[in-house]
Each structure stands twice: as C-alpha cells, then as structure tokens.
C-alpha cells in the first residue's frame, strides 16, 4: 500500500498461526485505513511461489523440503501399521491431556505454548467417551483410572439437578447434546472391562440385566429424565433446557440423544424406548430431507446402526446407505497431487455450500459414521458399497495423518512438544489443537481396527490410490444400465398420482406450449450461445441452456459463489423470447412471488442430469419449477426416492434441496423451462 510493503512466508504463517484475514487486519490497522480505502487507493495483495526448506543443524546438517510448513503424506505411505501408530499417538495425546485433578485440556495453541480458557461440555464428554473406549481397547488399568477421574471431575464441576431432573450446565446453557453424551459416557463406563467390543460395532446384549455403575446412578437417572422431558410426542427434541426459548442445532443434538437412546436400548431392550426411537427416526428422516446438512449424518448413522443390529429393521439400514452415499461426494480429492491442494486431500469440505469450514473434527466424525456404514455394508452382503466406503475412509485417514504432529519436522516451531506431539491440527493452515480433533478420529480408528482391510498388513486399495473422485454405487456417472432404466420407468408416477408425492407438486396440467416451442425453434442457434453450464457443472454436462434471467453481477462484497447471490436480472437474450418471459412472469405474479432465474434447458437423447443438490443461499429461499415443453416419451425427474414422468404442458414444483436427477429415455431432445420463484 503506497510505499509500505510486507511479505509473509508460508513457514512464518504456519509457525505463528497467522491467517490471511489476520495478516490483512494487522496491516490495515498499522496503516490506519479501512479495507475499502485500501482497495480504492490502489492497495495490492499478491501471492508468490516459494520453496520451503527446513534445515536441521544437529546431530548432522540435513534439509527437508516442506509444503505449507509440513510434508505431504502420500497415500502410498499408509498401511495398517501406520494406522496403528496413528491410533496409539492419538490415544497417548488424549490421556496426557488429563490433568492430576481429572480436568481435560480443551484447546491448546502450539504456536504460543499456552492453553485456551474456553470450554465446551459436549466436546468434554465426547473426550471422556474416547478415553473410555481407548481404555477398553488398551486394557490398561491406568487408562481406565484416567477415564474415571476425568468423568468424575467433569460431573463434579458441571452437574446440576432439580427434583428428578439432572443436567450439566456451562455458561448458563444446558444443551441436549451435552446431557446425552454425559449419559452415554456413564453408560459405557458402566460396561467396564467386560465388553469385548465397542457397542456401536457389535452391541452386546447382556446375559443378565444391565445396570448403571452404582456411583453414577443418581446422575444417570437425572440425565435420562431430562432427555425424556426434552423429547416431544411427534419425535422431535427440544435442544436446550436452558435457555428454554432456544431450540436450534438440530443437526447435532437430537442425533447425539438418539445415539444414547439406541445404546441404552441395546442393553435394556426397553420396548417403550424403542418406540420412541422409531418415532424420532421417522420425524428426523423427514426433517433431514427438508433441511439437508451433512453434519446430521454421522450421529444418526451411528444411532441407526445400533438400532438396525438390534431390530433387523431394513429401514434403518436404508437410511444409513442413503445418507452416506451422499456424504462421500463431499470428500475433496484433486487429480494432481503436485498442486497446492496436495495436503488437504481426503478431508470433507464443500466450499460452495454453507456447511461450515473444513475441520479435523468434522473429518473425524464423518469417519466415525462411515466406519459403521462400512461394517454394515460388509455384513449385509453389499461388497460394492463396502469397497466404496473403504476407499473413502482410507482417503480420510490420509488427511488425519497429515494433520498429526508426529516428529521434529512437524514440531519445528513448537516450544512445549509434550503438550502437542500426537495431537491433530485443526487444518493444515491452522495449528490449534482442540480436543474433538483427536477424539473423533481416535474413535473412528478404534472401530476400524477390527476389520482386516485396516489391520497391520493392510494397504490402501487401488481405488483409494487413484486420482479420480469417488462416488457411491447409486450415484455413479456411468451410463444407466437397462435394469435401472426399467426400474425407473416402472416406479415413475404421473399427474394422476401427484397427490401421493412428497417431493413433487403438479401446478398446471394443460399449458399451451406450442407458441413457446415456435419461439425457441426460431432461435435454434442460441443453444450454443453460452455453454458455461455444461462446461463447468459436471452433473449438467449432457444439457444445453439458453439463459433468460441470470445472476446479477458484480457479486456483493464477500460473496464468491453465484449460488449465494439473491439478485437476478434479464439477460440480453430475454427479449428474443417474449412469450416465454410473459408466461413465467405471469406465473410468478399468480404465486404472489418474485421471479428469480429463468433458463430454457434441453437434455440430450438418452442423456442424464446426474444426482445432485442445489445448494446456497439463493436456492434456500426459492421454489424450483419445471414447465415441460417437449418430451417424446414423458420426462423422467427424480428427487429423493420418488420418480415422476412429466408430460408437455405440465408445470411441476419439486424439491431441489434434496438429491435429484433427470433422465431422458427418448431418442429426441427433452426441453423444459426451468425457473425459480421466491414467495412473499
């Protein structure tokens, strides 16, 4: 800026844990200017290529080339033996964080060499649970002692009660998730050393009635009573006991509560508890479809895995498959490992969706759920899906290993190495260690270690080693096989069955579309005027598009994706299609809504629009409509588990916020007007 020039090297940023935003804020503060002033007056931000070399002077002079302050962990370097070392180091780090009084360190700053004074009871009790499972796996008495000391400390500090109700409270908040995980920790500690496997892998139905450990009976009963109070007859949960008017975080807390209930049912076989689990399963299955977020998936996967093993009810298994088949597409995997992205390969993150930032704890909890999904795929005779999950898990474990502080190279800037070694950074560019970074990954590894594909002599399968992204068996980009085509055709509903559909709604059935088709035929050359949709959006590669209303540019400050921009405007081509525009504008007015984006889209003969979800703030508040103009055999459109055959002259609403796809089984192009309306 003007004559002020500041450079930050990657190693400096890593060693001092500086983010790009923090650097910019510091610079603006030093110059006493705003970001707008910086931009208006010619301020410049540039990146530059570097070679990063770490030189050790003792015991001998050696040099190590770094990538973003670390070394990239190649997939080929992983093995079952490496996973065992990863597990051991995570477990050792976790039990080293237990202080003499039983307190668990919640968050640590390696660059500063200091502990954070923040806290979170949900993550604290998950850490207790991880200690219990690690003690169960190691069989060492001192590990059991540490787990019990940690549980005792946290309960002593935070347990409160009133009448029959009991809870844990921090900072004036009483969260359903914290209560459920505290109860689950007591439940699993009560199993003691007698349980041969973690119950979420192979639930043990005790030969004699299960009882909670006597020392914790009062707290356990109090927790159960409060969870019962927060449960509602429709199957939903209130997510906060305090403050009583707060009821958010439904992607997390109800799943944690169901995981506790499912674990408790596996031990007690209480029919009333099972009935409540079924009611909540039904409620949240629908809720998830309407409020899709991947954070929901691992908690409900773990709960449903227990319920499936306990009941044999296929609907639990089907829900697990549907959720995790979609989850695998969130995994980041770049074809060229030499790029700057080489160190983030395998993490779960979707930058164009509002699902939160990448985080070691997110990768870990997704792996926990996938471990259960993998085990069930093996046990239910689904080898193709098991192979898919296996490859995804190996890639995720590569990311976990990348984040671990292992040796002198990883620790070159760390002053207190004993507090750090074995722990996991939050991301490759944020070295903060939070306890849930470790606990989720550790619990996933403890589940996986019983399967041959992850034991000492195992290596990653070829599919995990390949450069291509992984999709689930029913989300493949391969051509539809004949049997699947037939299955779609058989199950597809038409307008006479519209009232039975959940994700589709017939709006009009007799629209006069010939004038619109004539208008399009007069401008046939415009199909290839703008090919950005089929060129840049993989799932739309077999379509052609004429844009009539599109996103308004430039984007608002801070927004980088068109999916998050609400404003739209007519394109230069809109005036060539006055009848199409008149129809959609009148439709929006009749709906008392505001017209959004409009496009005429055609799908190639025997072409597909591959399964996907329309994500972003723009889609979140708008309804999607299809007006069918031309389809020789009827247009097949699928959403969730429903398929519909749409015919020319019909206008349909459908839910584009859940996984959806389309197929053109005819020998001719299928033509739709696709548009969005935001109602008042």
Q: Is the pLDDT of residue 128 over 90?
A: yes
Q: What is the pLDDT of residues 368-421, one digit of tens each?
A: 999 999 999 999 999 999 999 999 999 999 999 999 999 999 999 999 999 999
Between 119 and 561, residue with greater pLDDT:
119
Q: What is the pLDDT of residues 638-657, one digit of tens each?
A: 887 789 999 999 999 999 98
Cα four-point dihedral sign 431, 437, 438, 444: negative
Q: How confident is the model at residue 340 (pLDDT cuts 50, 70, 90)?
A: low
Please state the rounded mean pLDDT for residues 311-329: 91
Q: What is the percentage of the chain residues whose pLDDT exceeds 90?
A: 80
Q: Is the pLDDT of residue 561 over 90?
A: no
Q: How confident is the model at residue 480 (pLDDT cuts 50, 70, 90)?
A: very low
Terminal CA-CA length for the chain: 46
Structural domains in the chain, sorted by start? 484-679 (2.60.120.330)
Q: What is the percentage of the chain residues whose pLDDT exceeds 70?
A: 94
Cα four-point dihedral sign 296, 189, 209, 166: negative
Mean residue pLDDT of the chain comes to 92
- Is 0.75 surpassed by the pTM of this model? no
Please state the rounded mean pLDDT for residues 578-601: 97
Q: What is the pLDDT of residues 133-192, one digit of tens each?
A: 999 999 999 999 999 999 999 999 999 999 999 999 999 999 999 999 999 999 999 987
> What's the helix, strand, coil split of the chain in %, to 5?
45, 15, 35
CA distance 494 to 499: 10
At 428, list the tokens.
């490759």
Range ranked top by mean pLDDT from 219-223, 268-272, 333-337:
219-223
Please state the φ and ψ torsions of residue 604, each to the nearest 5 degrees. Answer: -60, 155
CA distance 671 to 543: 10
Please state the rounded mean pLDDT for residues 630-640: 90
**226 close to 183: Cβ distance less than 8 angstroms:** no
Q: How confident is the model at residue 477 (pLDDT cuts 50, 70, 90)?
A: very low
- pLDDT value for 314: 87
Q: How confident is the model at residue 198 (pLDDT cuts 50, 70, 90)?
A: very low
Q: What is the pLDDT of residues 70-115, one digit of tens each?
A: 999 999 999 999 999 999 999 999 999 999 999 999 999 999 999 9
């Amino acid at each position: 800026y003007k004559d002020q020039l500041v450079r930050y090297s990657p190693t400096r940023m890593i060693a001092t844990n500086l983010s790009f935003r923090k650097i910019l804020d510091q610079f603006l503060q030093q110059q006493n200017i705003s970001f707008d002033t910086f931009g208006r007056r010619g301020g410049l931000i540039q990146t530059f290529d570097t070679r990063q070399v770490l030189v050790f002077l003792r015991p001998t002079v050696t040099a190590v080339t770094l990538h973003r302050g670390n070394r990239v962990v190649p997939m080929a370097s992983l093995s079952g033996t490496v996973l065992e070392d990863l597990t051991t180091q995570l477990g050792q780090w976790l039990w080293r964080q237990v202080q003499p009084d039983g307190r668990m360190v919640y968050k640590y700053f390696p660059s500063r060499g200091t502990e954070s004074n923040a806290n979170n009871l949900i993550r604290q009790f998950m850490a207790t649970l991880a200690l219990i499972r690690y003690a169960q796996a190691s069989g060492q008495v001192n590990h059991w002692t540490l787990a019990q000391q940690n549980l005792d400390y946290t309960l002593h500090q935070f347990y409160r009660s009133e009448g029959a109700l009991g809870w844990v409270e921090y900072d004036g908040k009483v969260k359903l998730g914290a209560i459920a995980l505290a109860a689950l920790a007591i439940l699993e500690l009560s199993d003691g050393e007698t349980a041969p496997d973690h119950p979420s892998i192979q639930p043990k139905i005790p030969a004699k009635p299960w009882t909670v450990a006597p020392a914790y009976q009062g707290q356990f009963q109090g927790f159960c009573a409060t969870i019962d109070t927060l449960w509602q007859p429709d199957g939903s949960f209130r997510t906060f006991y305090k403050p009583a008017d707060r009821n958010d975080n439904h992607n997390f807390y109800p799943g944690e509560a169901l995981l506790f209930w499912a674990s408790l049912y596996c031990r007690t076989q209480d029919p009333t508890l099972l009935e409540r689990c079924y009611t909540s399963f039904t409620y949240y299955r629908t809720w998830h479809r309407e409020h899709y977020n991947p954070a929901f998936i691992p908690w409900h996967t773990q709960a449903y895995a227990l319920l499936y093993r306990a009941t044999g009810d296929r609907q639990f298994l089907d829900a697990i498959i549907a959720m995790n088949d979609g989850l695998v597409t969130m995994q980041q995997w770049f074809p060229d490992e030499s790029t700057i992205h080489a160190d983030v390969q395998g993490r779960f993150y979707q930058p164009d969706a509002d699902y939160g930032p990448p985080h070691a704890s997110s990768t870990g909890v997704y792996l926990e759920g996938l471990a259960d999904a993998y085990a069930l795929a093996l046990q239910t005779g689904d080898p193709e899906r098991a192979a898919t999950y296996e490859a995804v898990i190996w890639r995720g474990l590569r990311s976990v290993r990348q984040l671990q502080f292992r040796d002198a190279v990883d620790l070159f800037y760390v002053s207190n190495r004993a507090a750090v070694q074995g722990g996991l950074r939050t991301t490759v560019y944020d070295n903060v260690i939070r306890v849930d970074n470790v606990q989720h990954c550790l619990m996933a590894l403890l589940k996986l270690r019983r399967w041959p594909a992850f034991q000492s002599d195992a290596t990653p399968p070829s599919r995990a080693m390949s450069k291509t992204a992984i999709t689930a068996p029913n989300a493949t980009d391969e051509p539809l096989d004949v049997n699947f085509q037939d299955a779609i055709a058989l199950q597809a509903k038409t307008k006479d069955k519209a009232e039975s559909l959940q994700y589709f709604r017939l709006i009009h059935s007799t629209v006069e579309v010939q004038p619109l088709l004539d208008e399009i035929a007069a401008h046939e050359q415009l199909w290839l005027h703008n090919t950005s949709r089929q060129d840049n959006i993989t799932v739309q590669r077999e379509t052609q598009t004429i844009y009539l209303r599109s996103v308004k540019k430039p984007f608002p400050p801070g927004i980088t994706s068109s999916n998050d921009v609400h404003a739209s405007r007519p394109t230069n081509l809109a005036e060539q299609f006055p009848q199409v525009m008149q129809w959609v504008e009148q439709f929006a007015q009749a709906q008392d809504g505001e017209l959004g984006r409009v496009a005429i889209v055609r799908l190639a003969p025997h072409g597909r629009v591959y399964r996907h979800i329309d994500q972003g703030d723009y889609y979140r508040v708008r309804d999607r409509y299809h007006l069918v103009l031309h389809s020789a055999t009827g247009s097949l459109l699928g959403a969730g588990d429903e398929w519909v055959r749409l015919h020319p002259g019909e206008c349909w609403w459908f839910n584009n916020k859940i996984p959806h796809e389309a197929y053109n089984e005819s020998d001719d192009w299928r033509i739709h007007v696709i548009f969005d309306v935001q109602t008042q």
